[in-house]
């Protein structure tokens, strides 16, 4: 509520902020017209009280509904970063296909099969560091372009869940940088 007091008439006039039309964004100033019949001395405080209670009640109800929505749809969000679920499929859990479970994939890269992590979320505190991989190199001199290959083998359980593939390059460093680039992609370190 916006209130303006005028000393000559010893009266205050009011207007609700929601009733003020949006200002022209191209102008630096604007004028608000307060109706003369909106005198503060004749205001119905019961109506104002009821209005404030209704708005407050609506806001609380909306917050409760949002919290309920979050609880109901929690399974559709990554438990580490809140990214949305992008696919959910039923898949066999054994070669004979006697037991099935659900594979969830989230936009952050997190993937789980049942209760088992298949690929970690970059926001998971257990997400592997690049140092958690042992790099193995092979040199193939007869290759015309990619003489060096680099394979990353995870040293920890979480690192083994992150398949970095292999890197190719004319030099050992180029092959290593391909693995590092793949790691940064999974870790969401796009600037590195």
**Boundaries of every domain in the chain:** 2-72, 74-119, 130-186
Exposed/middle/buried for residue 150 (C-beta within 10 Å: 0-12, 13-18, 19+) = buried
**Residue ranges of the chain with pLDDT lower than 70?**
190-192
Give the model's pLDDT for residue 69: 79
Report the distance separating Cα 189 and Cα 181, nearest Å.
9
What's the pLDDT at 190? 60
pLDDT at 71: 78
- Which residues lie below 8 Å from residue 120, measured CB to CB, with a gap of 6+? 109, 110, 126, 127, 128, 158, 161, 162
3-class secondary structure, 153: strand
How many residues in the chain?
Answer: 192
């Amino acid at each position: 509520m916006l209130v303006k007091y005028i000393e000559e008439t010893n009266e205050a006039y009011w207007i609700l902020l929601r009733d003020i039309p949006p200002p022209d964004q191209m102008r630096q100033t604007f004028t608000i017209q307060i109706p003369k019949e909106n005198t503060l001395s004749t205001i119905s405080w019961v109506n104002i009280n009821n209005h404030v209670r209704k708005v407050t009640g609506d806001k609380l109800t909306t917050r409760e509904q949002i919290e309920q929505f979050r609880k109901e749809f929690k399974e559709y969000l990554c438990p580490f970063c809140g990214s949305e679920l992008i696919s959910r499929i039923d898949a066999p859990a054994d070669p004979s296909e006697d037991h099935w479970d659900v594979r969830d994939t989230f936009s952050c890269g997190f993937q789980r099969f049942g209760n088992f992590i298949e690929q970690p979320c970059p926001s998971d505190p257990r997400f592997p560091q690049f140092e958690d991989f042992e790099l193995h190199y092979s040199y193939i001199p007869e290759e015309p372009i990619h003489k060096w290959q680099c394979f990353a083998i995870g040293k920890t359980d979480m690192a083994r869940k992150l398949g970095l593939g292999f890197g190719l390059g004319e030099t050992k460093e180029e092959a290593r940088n391909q693995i590092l680039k793949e790691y940064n992609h999974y870790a969401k370190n796009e600037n590195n």
